[in-house]
Amino acid sequence: ERKWVFVGAAPIYDEDKQPAGTIGINLDITHQKHLEQNLREAKQQAENSAKAKELFLANMSHEIRTPMNAILGMSQLLAKTTLAPRQSNYLHAISTSAQNLLVIIDDILDISKLDAGKMTIERVGFNVARLCEQVEKTILYKAEEKGLRFVTKVSPLIPNVVLGDPHRITQILLNLVSNSVKFTEKGEITVESEVAGYFNGQIIIAFSVCDTGVGIDAAYLESIFQEFSQEDSSITRKFGGTGLGLSISRSLVRLMGGEIEIESEKGKGTSSHFCLFLPIGTVHDLPQRKSAASINSQDLRGKRVLLVEDNEYNRLLANTFLRNAQLEVTEAENGEIAIERVREQEFDLILMDMQMPVMDGFEATRYLRQELGLATPIVALTASAINGEKQRCLAAGMNDYLTKPFYEDELVQMVHDWVLRPTGAGAEAPPVPEPVPTPVVATDGALYKLDMLLDTSRGNQKFVEAMLKTFIDGTYNALRDLGRALEVGNVQGLRGTAHKLRPSLVHLQIQPAVALMDKLENWEGPFSYDDLQPLVEEADRLLRQVLADMSTELQARRAALAG
């Protein structure tokens, strides 16, 4: 074993000040050196853990937000069609559930930002009454489902405009109200805002959320704000939840200079209170951003947009939104194709996805800026909401940033902000024709479902036929790639192909195949033919059966269209 020794020495002089010898000391510092090495390793492990956590959060956000973008977007398109009352209720439930999932994602990301001290608080003008009204609209459906009475009270003494962070205040109230709805079986929930006083030109607004729910045990109140905290395991099993909401709420309230308190008694309900010091604003402090609905589509007609997105369904969604605004849309599946499209023609705006095969959005943007000297505005479309992602996009040369899932009005507004500019005289592009509904051949195939395609296309037979053919061709290629990757022992190839194939399987609801792709994509160990071969073979068998059924249906649809 290696030893570490500290050596110290000094000369010894006689009476004549001549060297007569030396004196030295040897100290075994092996233990100290081991401690130093352990500290260095612990520091490195902590740094690696932090990086792994950030990477995990970024990937998790991307993987969940990508299908959420399709779900919420298709819901918006479906809402524009004629629906029966029951269908409208189902659609509202779908949208609400998707939004709830996004809240959980945002909670987890917020914990990361708060831990890193990177959470920022905005200061913009907003109206408290409208904020509370929005909270009520968001949660009312859940309350009515349980037969609960929902009451909102806003003091008339609160000024029309105050300055603060309406997004974070809404987040706090929604966390508190969601808990009240979750733990209340009968009675009512009250959200109240009132003036608690004035201080140094600021108004003190007291927010409270009260319910008649099950209440909280006094012993648990002491630890209620801890992360991932639940009163006991039975609460998690019965009511669900992550246990993050209250911890985040307290941190946000403290960032805004306030404090949150919770009063409760088992069986007698819960009351949550927090006060905020907010400057009084004027109408000029309110955001003046135009809504997409107010944008005249004539302003955007004929403007050319390059849509760069590898996910087929997200391309379809964004394309539909853009064409609804009478924009001319050209598509590209990755950065390399985008560069080719830019060489071929000019565009007024480029919408660029970040994570793509062949060439990602960062590399493509750098090439367009540095090699081609392109000045066209580029807006990033990303499913990653991790802190610092926007800075990465801007550093790569992009002009703006839009997080998936986005709403139609958000996308159109973003395009409007960057595209609209004085234009000279010229021929207007013809309006995009509406798809003509044609009879749809019903399918009783058990292996896949076409609900989303049918809803999106409003029964457009040609559209459904084209999407089926695209899926069939792409899946045959993916199965070939899986087989080749297995033969040569390429784990990364298996992961990449599974990642690319998975979104379309989710949208077509081929759940057994989705489970197989999850296993392949998340494979963490070294290549093991014995373990991976059954997964690839099962995926091949299952998907070839799907493709056979789908090909039969495609032929039937073509025959019906020809007839």
pLDDT in tens, 209-223: 999 998 888 777 777
Residue 44 falls inside a structural domain: no
The pLDDT score that the predictor gives to residue 452 is 63
* Range in 100-104, 182-186, 356-360 the model is least confident about: 100-104
- pLDDT for 119-156, tens place per residue? 778 899 999 988 998 888 778 878 888 889 999 999 98
Provide the percentage of residues in the chain whose pLDDT is more than 70.
Answer: 81
Are residues 354 and 398 located together in one domain of the fold? yes
| 482 in a structural domain | yes
Are residues 388 and 364 located together in one domain of the fold? yes
> Domain check: are 142 and 276 in the same one?
yes
pLDDT (0 to 100) of residue 355: 83
CA-derived radius of gyration, the chain: 30
Q: Could you tell me which residue, 438 or 469, shows the higher pLDDT?
A: 469
Q: What percent of the chain has pLDDT over 90?
A: 22
Among the listed ranges 105-114, 320-329, 389-398, which one has the minimum average pLDDT value? 105-114
Between the two ends of the chain, the Cα-to-Cα distance in Å is 87
Show the CA angle centred on residue 57, arms to residues 113 and 174, nearest 5°.
60
Confidence check: pLDDT of 165 > 60: yes
Sign for the pseudo-dihedral over CA of 312, 314, 318, 323: positive
Hey, how many other C-beta atoms are within 10 angstroms of the C-beta on 414?
A: 21
* Residues 188 and 258 occupy one common structural domain: yes
Calculate mean pLDDT across residues 165-194. 91
Q: What is the CATH number of the domain that holds 527?
A: 1.20.120
pLDDT at res. 117: 66
Segment 275-302 mean pLDDT = 74
User: Are 180 and 270 in contact, with CB atoms under 8 Å apart?
Assistant: yes
**Per-residue pLDDT at 128:** 93
460 and 392 in a single domain? The answer is no
> Which single residue is written with the structure tokens 């139609």?
408
Q: Domain holding 397: CATH number? A: 3.40.50.2300
Residue of 139, 123, 217 lying closest to 175 (CA atoms): 139
**Helices 312-324, 408-419: crossing angle, 10 deg rounding:** 70
Indicate whether 63 belongs to any domain. Answer: no
C-alpha–C-alpha distance, residues 435 and 458, integer Å: 8
The answer on pLDDT for 241 being more than 50 is: no
> Does 62 fall in a domain?
no
| pLDDT for residue 9 is more than 60 | yes
Q: Which long-range contacts (CB under 8 A, 24 or more apart) does 5-13 make?
A: 5/29, 5/30
Higher pLDDT, 172 or 561: 172
What's the domain count of the chain?
3
pTM for this model (two decimals) = 0.46
Residues 254 and 201 grouped into a single domain: yes
pLDDT at res. 341: 95
| Amino acid present at 409 | D
Q: Name which residue leads in pLDDT, 228 or 165.
A: 165
The SS3 of residue 450 is coil
pLDDT tens across 401-436, in order? 888 767 788 888 889 888 875 433 333 333 333 333
Question: Is the domain of 331 the same as that of 401?
Answer: yes
Q: Decide: residue 353, CB within 10 A, 0-12 exposed, 13-18 middle, 19+ buried.
A: buried
Claim to verify: residue 407 and residue 484 sit in the same structural domain: no
Report pLDDT for 271.
94
Structural domain contains residue 238: yes
pLDDT score for 506:
72
**196, 275 contact by CB (below 8 A):** yes
How far is Cα 68 from Cα 78, in angstroms, rounded to an integer?
15
At 488-510, the pLDDT tens digits run 888 888 988 887 787 778 777 78
For residue 333, give the amino acid letter: E
- The residue range of the domain holding 529 is 451-562
The mean pLDDT value for 455-466 works out to 64
Confidence (pLDDT) at 79: 80
Instruction: Decide if pLDDT at 308 tops 50.
Output: yes
Indicate if 242 and 297 belong to the same structural domain.
Answer: no
Is 328 part of a structural domain of the chain? Answer: yes
d(CA 281, CA 277): 13
| pLDDT tens string 15-52 | 888 888 888 888 888 888 888 888 888 888 877 776 77
Q: Both 299 and 327 in a single domain?
A: yes
Higher pLDDT, 560 or 541: 541
